[in-house]
């Protein structure tokens, strides 16, 4: 059978959460049911999973959803949205306090605290947001066995030490609709960050592929020539200047792992107290005793990268209504910002 052109694209702010497989059928392809065709193209796929994906409108041919009995033909352009989330049966429900901002039959919007991992993974098999969501759903459906709980899934995520808003889908239909919105860059995501240095421009756009560091595999880096990684676009605007640090807002056009952290480091302004990307030392300012003590006190106030997912907007996957959510800065970020504000004002007063 002829080879097809195909390409996987990440849809989530994070690795292996949701991908899109694109295929264009070559001229030598004979008519074949789409479920059988995809079984031969997607590693590990079963006919049942593919049929479910088709029924949930996660498979498109020539920009339209199709039925399981559709037969592919030469020239067809296929798009398959594929989840990388484990099944709910892989998740152990755990009771924990969750800040649920909104919930209905289709979605849950959560304000995640800093320090909480979103999804179980290597070294973090419990205590994650998803463990808590599973317990929350179990309380809503006590009559069901654990394996029969409603399915739910993520279409994006934020880092362990980033706080802020996340939306999760409670149904396969909601998940596929939200995944498409994230892929099409139509979801509104606004972050607040405190970064080192006095950012030169009032606003700007950072472009440059983001991918894993070639040597240090736990880190990501910017590849401005686009020779590695995936396209990443971050828009930023200065909100307030504190001489040695700057308060900025960042809007994501794409969602890549550590995107804001990596892009701000790339332009010379790592996030304050970001221990992965060089923000946990004095980046700007003379290292003298009083200033060093001040910065150390700030690090104590905000013991993680100063980044908060403040706003989230999207179209509801069922009702079609435009939703918008906003959450206040957490106490640690609000406190460190105020501390820098007072310090900056005192310097201005002393210099007058």
Rounded Cα gap, residues 265 and 271, in angstroms: 7
* Among 247, 253, 265, 249, CA closest to 344: 247
Strand pairing category for 163-169 and 307-315: parallel
Is 159 a residue of the active site? yes
Say which of 35, 76, 159, 274 is annotated catalytic.
Answer: 159
In sequence order, the 6+-apart residues with CB closer than 8 A to the CB of 51 are 35, 68
Q: Which 3 state secondary structure label does DSSP give 258?
A: coil
Closest residue by Cα to residue 133 from 182, 177, 82, 88 = 88
In 3D, which of 191, 202, 212, 229 has the Cα closest to residue 307? 191
Report the alpha-carbon distance of residue 225 to residue 3 in Å, rounded.
29
Instruction: State the burial class of residue 22 (Cβ atoms within 10 Å of its Cβ: 0-12, 13-18, 19+).
Output: middle
Which among 29, 153, 134 has a CA at the least distance from the CA of 82?
Answer: 153
Catalytic residue list: 159
């Amino acid at each position: 059978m002829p080879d097809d052109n195909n390409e996987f694209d990440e849809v989530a702010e994070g690795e292996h959460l949701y991908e899109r497989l694109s295929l264009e059928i070559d001229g030598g392809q004979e008519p074949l049911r789409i479920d059988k065709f995809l079984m031969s193209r997607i590693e590990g796929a079963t006919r049942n999973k593919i049929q479910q994906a088709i029924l949930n409108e996660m498979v498109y041919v020539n920009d339209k959803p199709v039925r399981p009995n559709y037969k592919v033909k030469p020239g067809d352009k296929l798009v398959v949205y594929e989840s990388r989330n484990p099944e709910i049966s892989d998740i152990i429900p755990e009771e924990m306090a969750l800040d649920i901002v909104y919930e209905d039959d289709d979605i849950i919007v959560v304000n995640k605290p800093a320090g909480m991992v979103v999804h179980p993974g290597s070294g973090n098999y419990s205590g994650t947001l998803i463990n808590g969501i599973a317990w929350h759903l179990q309380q809503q459906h006590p009559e069901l066995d654990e394996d029969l709980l409603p399915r739910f899934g993520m279409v994006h995520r934020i880092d362990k030490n980033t706080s802020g808003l996340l939306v999760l889908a409670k149904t396969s239909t909601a998940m596929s609709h939200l995944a498409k919105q994230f892929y099409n860059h139509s979801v509104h995501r606004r972050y607040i960050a405190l970064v080192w240095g006095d950012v030169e421009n009032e606003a700007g756009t950072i472009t440059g592929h983001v991918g894993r560091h070639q040597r240090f595999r736990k880190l990501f880096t910017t590849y401005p020539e686009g020779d590695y990684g995936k396209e990443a676009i971050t828009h930023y605007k200065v909100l307030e200047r504190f001489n040695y640090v700057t308060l900025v807002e960042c809007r994501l056009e794409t969602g890549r792992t550590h995107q804001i952290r990596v892009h701000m480091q790339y332009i010379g302004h790592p996030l304050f107290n970001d221990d992965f990307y060089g923000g946990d030392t004095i980046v700007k300012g003379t290292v003298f005793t009083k200033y060093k003590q001040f910065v150390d006190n700030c690090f104590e106030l905000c013991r993680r990268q100063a980044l908060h997912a403040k706003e989230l907007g999207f179209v509801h996957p069922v009702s079609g209504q435009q939703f918008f959510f906003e959450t206040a800065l957490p106490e640690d970020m609000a406190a460190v910002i105020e501390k820098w504000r007072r310090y900056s004002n005192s310097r201005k007063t002393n210099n007058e």
